[in-house]
Amino acid sequence: MPGGAARIPISPRELSVSNCENAHAMRRKLLFSVPAVAVLAVLAAAITHRPEIPGGRIVVHFTAGLSGVLDPCGCDPSERGGLARRLSVISDARAADASHVFVDAGDFIGIPTIEGFDRKDNPGFLSPNKRRFCEIKMDALMKGFGFLGIDAICPGEADFMLGQSFLREWGRSLPFVSSNVVYANSGNPVFRPYRVKVIGRGRFLGIPYGGVRVGIFALTFESAKLKHVKEDINDILSLPVITAAVGTIRELTGPEGCTVIICLFHGTRGQAEMLLSQVKDIDLLIVGHEWQPEDQKPQMGRTLIAGVPARGMAVGEASLKLSPSKTTAGGTVRLIPLDPSQKEHEAGLAILREFREKVRSASLEPDEQADAGGRFAGSGKCARCHEEESAQWSGTSHSRAYSALAARGQDADPECLQCHTTGYGLVGGFAKPSDSPLLAGVGCEVCHGPSAKHVEEKEKIEAEGRIKPPVRDAHRKRPLFKICTSCHTPQRDRFFERNSELRFKRIKHR
């Protein structure tokens, strides 16, 4: 399926998982549905002719810790990552090379904090509109996996934050695997324990034969807390990894006939090394948690270890060399950075467009608004009396911050609105695209506080000719510097702290 054609599956069910098979089912097919003559012919062919694995190696692309990030937001033009770039790298590799495996080692779901949707006293709380938003966003992420025909996904502890039903629904079409995540009450596995992908298989009389059987299994380190949402009836937990690994590897190297074993390990590098000190038969282990640059020491025993920076900023690539007996003989690991020079796949852009459209039509207003301490008037109300300040402000991009979102089709996205409008998430603040244009953009009241009362008082003074009555308002005379860094975070504006003096000068009115 991957390659040039950009058909985007519409619902989870519509995606189909191909080219991985269960060995038992295969053998049953061979025994019962094919005449014995053909079986013999196949065997003869398999003995005399082995299909070649291109380059004598298997290429594994992997992601981990995507944390719900779909796309670079555009705040910092040098930002890396994004679904469309990821799709382009991986789908090109899959189209060019049949010996290709693509896997994810967990924590693909991430729940952003959004002003107006979170409860300060209950950080894990998902308001109805925030849940809806996160589901729309994570559906887009999962579609990316589906488009690439991902071979296996190891759910991490964060991936249960939208509830088990979210994973169950997507599990109809995406290959979640885990050898050690079980339901607490029954001990039954939540996902299938492993997948087998056959690479470099030949065909004779239409019947597949030969090839390298690659077993992929997944472990979630037991101390990783599996997060729950209230509506999940059954608790889940993760069993000790060593026992689970030993049992699964026995199955893969035995009845399943796998000669290459890949482990998706949702734990840290240190926890992985603990596992590998006792379990030797893994060819490639992908570390899913807390990647550090110094983690890139690739080998332990015969096992190649690999990780990838979080938030989808790069794609990991491991190249496993195959020996003539089809087992692995070492390999190499590298990171492919998804910087702005990387091209974007049309299918990824289409998924993003669909995501933005869905967010727009869901019209998700903040549903946990906090008191603003006053009423907002809107920047347009100030100009009459503060001509100079207003003219200066109009010259800064603060005044145009909302149109920057509109230009990207994201002017209804709550995650963006919280920093690109005035009073978002506060009572009386900007809440939806049809709201007062006076509150669009980073207006006067972002820095000076809600000032409707100030306006009314001053108008009254004008009318009555009185001088300087006290003004009790949320209105601030001098904004605090910490207001700036609530939006100019290191992630959105890398050099703000370093250049703060210059930046401050730019917004001062005189």
Which residue ranges make up the site for ligand HEC (CB under 6 A)? 73-76, 377, 379, 381-382, 384-386, 389-390, 393, 396-398, 400-401, 404-405, 408, 410, 413, 415-416, 418-420, 442, 444-448, 451, 454-455, 458-459, 462, 468, 475, 477-479, 483-484, 486-489, 492-493, 503-504, 506-510
Provide the minimum distance between the beta carbon of 455 and ligand HEC in the complex, in angstroms, as a whole number: 4
Instruction: Look at the block and give the residue holding tokens 């049949």.
Output: 98
Query: In sequence order, what are the residues at sequence separation of 6 or more whose Cβ sits closer than 8 angstroms to the Cβ of residue 489?
Result: 496
Provide the minimum distance between the beta carbon of 143 and ligand HEC in the complex, in angstroms, as a whole number: 18
381: left (phi over 0), alpha (psi -120 to 50) or beta: alpha
Q: Report the residue number, 80 or 192, with the smaller CB distance to ligand HEC.
A: 80
CA 144 to chain CA centroid, nearest Å: 10
Instruction: Look at the block and give the residue holding tokens 């690479």.
Output: 199
In three-state secondary structure terms, 462 is: helix
Residue 245 — φ and ψ, nearest 5°?
Answer: -65, -45
Distance CA 386, CA 373 (A): 23
In three-state secondary structure terms, 497 is: coil
CA dihedral of residues 298, 304, 305, 306 (deg, nearest 10): 80
Instruction: Look at the block and give the residue holding tokens 């779901």.
Output: 109
Q: Is residue 235 within 8 Å of 185, Cβ to Cβ? A: yes
Query: In sequence order, what are the residues at sequence separation of 6 or more whose Cβ sits closer than 8 angstroms to the Cβ of residue 41?
Result: 204, 205
Provide the minimum distance between the beta carbon of 109 and ligand HEC in the complex, in angstroms, as a whole number: 17
Provide the minimum distance between the beta carbon of 481 and ligand HEC in the complex, in angstroms, as a whole number: 6
Distance CA 226, CA 104 (A): 18
Provide the minimum distance between the beta carbon of 255 and ligand HEC in the complex, in angstroms, as a whole number: 48
Q: In Å, how far are 264, 272, 509 from 391, measured between CA atoms?
A: 57, 59, 9
Residue 366 — φ and ψ, nearest 5°?
Answer: -55, 135
Distance CA 33, CA 30 (A): 6
Residue 346 is classified by DSSP as H
Q: Is residue 248 within 8 Å of 296, Cβ to Cβ? A: no
Q: Report the residue number, 95 or 385, with the smaller CB distance to ligand HEC.
A: 385
Q: Report the residue number, 177 or 310, with the smaller CB distance to ligand HEC.
A: 310
Distance CA 226, CA 232 (A): 12
Provide the minimum distance between the beta carbon of 335 and ligand HEC in the complex, in angstroms, as a whole number: 24
Q: Report the residue number, 120 or 468, with the smaller CB distance to ligand HEC.
A: 468
Q: Report the residue number, 50 or 432, with the smaller CB distance to ligand HEC.
A: 432
Instruction: Look at the block and give the residue holding tokens 């107006």.
Output: 116
Q: Is residue 178 within 8 Å of 221, Cβ to Cβ? A: no
Q: Report the residue number, 239 or 310, with the smaller CB distance to ligand HEC.
A: 310
Provide the minimum distance between the beta carbon of 308 and ligand HEC in the complex, in angstroms, as a whole number: 22
Provide the minimum distance between the beta carbon of 466 and ligand HEC in the complex, in angstroms, as a whole number: 11
Q: Report the residue number, 91 or 390, with the smaller CB distance to ligand HEC.
A: 390
Name 204's bridge partners: 207
Provide the minimum distance between the beta carbon of 322 and ligand HEC in the complex, in angstroms, as a whole number: 43
Q: Report the residue number, 31 or 385, with the smaller CB distance to ligand HEC.
A: 385
Provide the minimum distance between the beta carbon of 66 and ligand HEC in the complex, in angstroms, as a whole number: 15
Q: Report the residue number, 118 or 151, with the smaller CB distance to ligand HEC.
A: 118
Q: Report the residue number, 228 or 400, with the smaller CB distance to ligand HEC.
A: 400
